[in-house]
Structure 1
């Protein structure tokens, strides 16, 4: 077979000429199949602190929470996790029904206009049982709540009316032993709630149900996420499926701006205000109000013997006692003074907003994405369970020591570096590095091969070198590489030696820094000199990815415009593909190259920025694999190299935002990868995937896969519309319609069947620009006077003309006849020979305004006004 000289491929829809290695052979049929290796979710790091009430105990040792698009069931002893991956977008709310041991979770609206949906699933095995899709729900499902017996589910969503829906009979099967799925096709999809009611203009982002089954009520509150008003409503079911809501009445002297959280105690509702007041409601009126703190209150949890634990958002716990309709504060303990609490507040104050009380302790979640276990009796923090960065995360680096399995991540918004112990599946408490003075964020991280140096690239062009594990700046470690974002870092360390500062680095160790100013800066990592050794130029856009050859001689770069360039690091000169086509590369991370063109061909819909990151590696399963993360929140797994558009691959859900970074963890053999780490850029999730030979891939629920011909969002059936009141611009009266034989046809600007207005090409025939015949009208304008039938006569004469046909009346005709009607009503005395010119002008005017019904009505009104002004 003759060798292939070059290949013209589309990388991100951009044509690029690529050269294969000298030993390249065409891929076989086996190479085109999907890999036999697969990814299986092993651990999820992070916590969604945006949701209120999104953590629940489901047993003495297990609790459920959400991160990104994954619902996690975590056990304390032994530490393990189960995952529900049935959502296609970020999970926004979560509820648990202890009566049926069932979880309900809602998400934000997926792309494509399908609408947000609710998943009901069993936490015991994470099987999806039911999907609820309400046509009125839009944007996101903000809150969910079960009735005490589990027979009713309430869902609240963001739409124009902030609709609250009640669902019944939503489970596919119930038995005395619980919910069963034997002999059933799952999931069942339900679209019609038994009741729904608009809750008002203020959106509700929280919902808590009372524990009293006989007098069950739901409290809806705004959770401080809306700036247009205060919301606290109590909703109960009356007369069967009917919902009735009543607004809460606050004391005029101490009314809050927002209600941040609610809880129920002995049939009374406790409401936490943003003014530091705690309110107790009997019915709809506040029977008691007490100021607990100067800061806003995050939650209130009833304890035993009328005791109450209230947390304020200035990181203080308030232990209170309730007696005789009055709250008495027993103690106020800051989080920093709790046993083990000082480490939690090392990176800043906590802002608690969620709590769940169980036998093992009190689970507390915060707005800044902390989830930890507290012993309220001993007043100590038992365990930090989860945490996330407070903003977007775009940098990740794995420590080179295989046995350590330590991971560092950096925030692009909070300028914070956090560390994770992958062996113990937990964040490293207290080892948080925060750059208080920096506001540009950290966008790249890299460990030296010795593990004793960490490089950080900032958004303003600053490069910082830190010693590890001390995390102290090394002498001369602060340098500048231009004035734009440093998007890629790569250590070029060909050998060991006795280097600067005793960090175990060679004298020739170099650090490559890829900047958004289109330049790659080469620094000496073993010298205190702040000036770069050389500059690598040639990119015509910002450098986004970079990788070095195994021997550290060559550098490959990708840029925003899809360029693939190669450089000789020692000489600083740009080299051709021919020079490096047989080169082996270390830590493959460039999405655009000859080895990855099949990855782009298999996903042709992605542009240059569609695939955010990739990683090639040898797996412990014996295959060479290529993993990619993209803007569709998914992870794909290919063979490596991936060369054909027919390349098979596996796809995995779990992230709720674009996948910004990838890294691998070594197995027993350091040259092979046992796990893949993926970082969500804006969902706060760090997911660890285990590489296995076979796995059952968990996929999000997508209706188009099950019912490709049926839209996910369906309009509910409506009653026949009431007779329409004719607007003043609707000139087609009954006599005209009878003459045309169209019955009760409506004007062209009326929305057809309640749907969108048809475009111009959907009408039967366009309006002709031929002038109207002079003899087509009987009688002049003065003969019409103010008779209401005069306008009808004028339009009838127009309808009698052979062209244009009246059954396809357009806006121009509407404008002309409206003008004729005003003239006939005595509004004008213009001569008849002026009307054709006016009509032609109106036709040209209407053709430029085929936008929507509002534009059409406006065009008619302008024609009427113009006709009136012309006639004086």
Structure 2
């Protein structure tokens, strides 16, 4: 009967008309079942999870922090990307991953045995994303202990293992309002004591390498000296004397004789003699701008890196040795310098690069990343390559096998979306200003550029025959352009949406388009004229070349229970049509069987991102999946198993 509806979750189905009515934020949206399934479709059925699984294969550098780059005995570099700790083998460009965290990893520490790792995360929006510290084995990747769950206010800000007693203790600074310093017997999972670390921001904690029970913290306008005695933490404040107190003490390290050295925001290096709490010596203008990082190398020399992009070596008396490295501007300034193999230095930079080199040879780029939200990503249709673009204005073409950039292009403004032409020769790039460009995908030559209003271009896609280009704007309009000898000419402007365009798909024959908008509309268009098709029931059997529209009949199952429409940001159907992937606001990448057209559609959930996932896309052979993160600025590559 036409009036007999079956209710499941927030959907109803009219079998007579073959209409699935979905309610998002109380707004009904009609979706039309294809003829092949309309008669037997039942909301009470469930789609099982796919047998395929996603395994994280490679993570490209994301948001950076201090003290997050070290070399392990396995020859792997360790650092973190979003919610994943990466163990990166630079020789063969492979990675292993520790994926026990549920949100952004903010800090890590390496045990004196160099195999045990502690990593701390922040509190996220998901119910299970609570700030805590995990101690784990870097060989087996097994979790040994979970500490401080429910005790940290906002995040574990910095961590350090003790050194004199064989690493029995772990110090943790809570990055919350109270900035609590706690000391843990990590093997027992027991907190021994805690104290307020400072009234101001704390950026680092370190144990003294020679004196038992002594540790230091530093941060905004302070250095504090701590003594752990009789189960209590006793504090002495560092005395700067007549010298100007720096706005920030940004980093610290210990000489081989046990003296403390600190770097500050004024570009100075200060020396504090062992056992004291007063500045004994000052090196002014060690760097132009803040000193970001300090380390003591295997020969006892001091190495500093600063905002000026320089890495400088000093001898034990804090005199320059003459060894200076100046990083190329495109790599940014050295945020972290640590010891590599032999005399090699590992450098993590403010532009999220990892470099390896020594004082005599040019540094080698080991890893690269974006520094702002990544919204644009596209897999090459015919090669093992993909492109990413971010609000930092950088567009990079990556090689899947070597995990390194093929080329990089700096644009004048943030990048919002990108798409390859079907043959892979052209690349469309939508920018946040409303301007868009078409580039030669190999040479980066600009083939065409135009602006369609001041609002960002949110979505872009070439037609399957390669002749047309569709652009969805934040000004609620869809623009269709035709390629010609003199560039691109506008074929149509489609108006009818009451909110910004979020996703678009071409029909397989390149004649029709469908679009989603920010207020949960699904509209259809004729490409040749831009006319809106107002009888969507007649399009129920249209074959679509892609499926990126999150709101469509065959993707309703990707929405979780009580979804309000904003939870799911992106989806993509595999080229073989058997799988669908989605990315949501909680940092999760999910894998579904396709079509995902039931209220109960089971899935595989994969963790890696720590903020909203902005883009997912299968590679041409469906053997890999690409995902991009927003605030975590991470790009992850998954193997489909």
> Aligned-pair distance for 1:4?
5.8
Match of 2:253 in 1: 263
The counterpart of 1:357, out of the listed 339, 360, 364, is: 339
Match of 2:561 in 1: 604
Match of 2:570 in 1: 613
> Aligned-pair distance for 1:310?
1.8
The counterpart of 2:191, out of the listed 190, 193, 201, is: 193
> Aligned-pair distance for 1:113?
9.7
Distance in 1, matches of 2:88 and 2:41, equals 43
Match of 2:537 in 1: 578
Match of 2:131 in 1: 116
1:423 and 2:401 equivalent? yes
Distance in 2, matches of 1:256 and 1:139, equals 26
1:333 and 2:303 equivalent? no
Distance in 2, matches of 1:12 and 1:616, equals 25
The counterpart of 1:105, out of the listed 92, 114, 119, is: 119
Match of 1:287 in 2: 280
> Aligned-pair distance for 1:458?
1.4
Residues 11, 597 of structure 1: 8 Å contact kept: no
Unaligned runs of 5+ in 2: 2-14
Match of 1:712 in 2: none
Distance in 2, matches of 1:482 and 1:642, equals 36
Match of 2:12 in 1: none
Match of 2:385 in 1: 406
Q: Where do 1:787-866 residues align within 5 Å?
A: none
Match of 1:593 in 2: 552
1:553 and 2:511 equivalent? yes
Match of 1:77 in 2: 91
Rg (Cα) greater in structure: 1
Distance in 2, matches of 1:100 and 1:395, equals 38
Distance in 2, matches of 1:286 and 1:66, equals 34
Secondary structure at 1:662's aligned position in 2? strand
> Aligned-pair distance for 1:618?
4.6
Match of 1:644 in 2: 598
Q: Where do 1:435-514 residues align within 5 Å?
A: 435-436=411-412, 438=413, 441-474=414-447, 477-494=448-465, 509-514=467-472
Residues 481, 513 of structure 1: 8 Å contact kept: no
Residues 459, 472 of structure 2: 8 Å contact kept: yes
> Aligned-pair distance for 1:100?
7.2
Distance in 2, matches of 1:415 and 1:12, equals 34
Q: Which has the higher contact order (CA 8 A, sep 6+)?
A: 2
Q: 1:659 to 1:133 in 2, by over 3 A?
A: same
Match of 1:720 in 2: none
> Aligned-pair distance for 1:219?
2.2
Q: Post-superposition, which runs of at least 4 consecutive aligned residues in structure 1 deviate over 6 A?
A: 27-31
RMSD: 2.3
Distance in 1, matches of 2:597 and 2:67, equals 47
Which has the larger helix fraction?
1
Distance in 2, matches of 1:105 and 1:659, equals 22
The number of equivalent residue pairs is 617
Which has the larger strand fraction?
2
The counterpart of 2:296, out of the listed 276, 282, 302, is: 302
Match of 1:322 in 2: 316
**TM value normalised by structure 1:** 0.68
Unaligned runs of 5+ in 1: 173-189, 223-228, 337-344, 496-508, 668-672, 693-872
**TM value normalised by structure 2:** 0.91
Distance in 1, matches of 2:517 and 2:45, equals 33
> Aligned-pair distance for 1:80?
2.1
Secondary structure at 1:578's aligned position in 2? helix
Residues 31, 553 of structure 2: 8 Å contact kept: yes
Distance in 2, matches of 1:676 and 1:471, equals 25
Match of 1:374 in 2: 357
> Aligned-pair distance for 1:295?
2.1
Match of 2:7 in 1: none
Match of 1:542 in 2: 500
Distance in 2, matches of 1:310 and 1:552, equals 58
1:125 and 2:161 equivalent? no
